[in-house]
Amino acid sequence: MRIIGGTHRSRIIAPPAGSETTRPITDRVKVALFDRLADAGLVEEGNALDLFCGTGSLGLEALSRGSEHCTFVESNRHVRQVLEENIASLGLQEQSRVLSVNALGTGWLNTLPRRPLRMVFCDPPYALVEDEKGRGQVLGLIGLLLTHREPGGVIMLRTPVEVVPEQVEGYMELKRHVYGTMALHFYQRPLEESEAE
């Protein structure tokens, strides 16, 4: 795993150790994701949130490309240790905060150190979004995040390609992009009327 753009381009970041497994996003898809975000003017500056972050691939990429701060949310202690080592190896401790909580618990939302959020990466376990109840919990979290976001800010949800999540009230029309066996879904907060005119 590596950073593919920005000030830390080509730096290697560690995957989970031992038997811990995540589904790292491929370089090709990461390039496509950040190209879309950059085209929308969302990458530089602003605050990011990386949910179900694993060892931090997306949040660290955002910081490398100019985000001011990223909050990482990861409940697995062993994976979180590797995440913290990755943050330290890149010298990004001052721009990062790691929350050791269950992302679906939602009580942590009021403890976010930096708001509003410009980019949110939501990469839950596939089994969670494949299950109707679990997917509903994830979409409920996306709904709660609406008021924590900048006007025009985006939440990216990654799922297996066969999962097509529902629209969430308050967001613009859902956009979906397929990359092989995975799909990226973009939930964007509308611009305020005064800004959109």
In a domain, residue 39? The reply is yes
Cis amide leading into 151 (omega within 30): no
In a domain, residue 161? The reply is yes
Tell me: the pLDDT tens digits for 92-111?
A: 999 999 999 999 998 999 98
What's the rounded Cα separation, in Å, for the pair 184 and 179? 8
Q: What is the Cβ-side half-sphere exposure of residue 182, based on CA atoms within 13 angstroms? A: 18
Tell me: the pLDDT tens digits for 19-46?
A: 445 567 888 999 999 999 999 889 888 9
In a domain, residue 1? The reply is no
What's the rounded Cα separation, in Å, for the pair 160 and 176? 12
Range of the domain at 37: 6-196
pTM above 0.75, yes or no: yes
The CATH number linked to 20 is 3.40.50.150
Query: Would you call 80 helix, strand, or coil by DSSP?
Result: helix
The rounded radius of gyration (Å) of the Cα atoms in the chain is 16
